[in-house]
């Protein structure tokens, strides 16, 4: 069985190969969410919320239907957006103001996507397992986001700033 770290490294290499020839932000967010869902074990949702009209709006994802709009500072996604930092939540039911889009989700990691100093979106990944996400996930998912930012034309999303 492949070790977790090797699998995360392979996922990031696959992301580079997948998106380097394509700069479109929508295509890259869609394919990258599918890649996360394919490579990561014990997750039930992986996708993006895009900052639009002063709120986070559902973007490309894999998993069950989800909340469409999240206010700044609300839930894990809104908190990661406003604090501009990675949020790793071992038990979402203990997180103040958690938004339960899927009652099966028990833990979550959210990473802000920062382009030219502005948070333009967040990457949200949920798991039905408590304490699913650790420092390896944090490290390689930050690298995943960095690859996405480096290889994607987010200019159409930046026009609102």
Q: What does the pLDDT look like over 69-123, one tens digit per residue?
A: 999 999 999 999 999 999 999 998 888 777 777 678 999 999 999 999 999 999 9
Predicted TM-score (pTM) of the model is: 0.95
pLDDT at 51 (0 to 100): 96
**Confidence at residue 158, expressed as pLDDT on a 0 to 100 scale:** 81
The 3-state DSSP class for residue 154 equals: coil
What is the residue range of 54's domain? 1-158
Q: What are phi and psi of 123, to 5 degrees?
A: -95, 125
Helices (H), 42-134: 75-83
DSSP 1-54: ---HHHHHHHHHHHHHHHHTT--BHHHHHHHHHHHHHHH-SS-SEEEEEEEETT
- Judging by beta carbons within 10 Å of its beta carbon (0-12, 13-18, 19+), is residue 94 exposed, middle or buried? exposed
pLDDT of residue 1: 60
What was the pLDDT predicted at 157? Answer: 83
> To the nearest whole number, what is the mean pLDDT of the chain?
93
What CATH number is given to the structural domain containing 142? 3.30.450.40
Q: Is the pLDDT of residue 142 over 80?
A: yes
Percentage of the chain with pLDDT > 70? 96
CA distances from 159 to 51, 84, 115, 147, 154 (A): 12, 20, 12, 21, 9
Into how many domains does the chain fold? 1
Are the beta carbons of 102 and 115 closer than 8 angstroms?
no
Q: How confident is the model at residue 160 (pLDDT cuts 50, 70, 90)?
A: low
User: What does the alpha-carbon distance between residue 79 and residue 98 come to, in Å, rounded to a whole number?
Assistant: 10
Rg (CA), the chain: 15
Residue 131: other Cβ atoms inside 10 A: 12
Q: Which residues contact 52 (CB under 8 A, 6 or more apart)?
A: 160
């Amino acid at each position: 069985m492949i070790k977790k770290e090797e699998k995360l490294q392979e996922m990031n290499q696959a992301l580079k190969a997948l998106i380097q020839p394509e700069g479109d932000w929508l295509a890259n967010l869609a394919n990258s969410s599918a890649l996360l869902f394919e490579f990561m074990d014990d997750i039930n949702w992986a996708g993006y919320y895009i900052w639009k009209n002063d709120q986070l709006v559902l973007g490309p994802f894999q998993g069950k239907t989800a909340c469409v709009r999240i206010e700044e500072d609300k839930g894990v996604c809104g908190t990661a957006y406003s604090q501009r930092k990675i949020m790793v939540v071992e038990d979402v039911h203990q997180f103040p103001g958690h938004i339960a889009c899927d009652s099966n989700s028990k833990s979550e990691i959210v990473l802000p996507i920062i382009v030219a100093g502005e948070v333009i979106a967040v990457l949200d990944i949920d798991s039905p397992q408590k304490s699913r996400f650790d420092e390896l996930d944090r490290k390689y998912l930050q690298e995943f986001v960095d690859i996405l930012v480096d290889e994607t034309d987010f200019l159409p999303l930046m026009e609102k700033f």
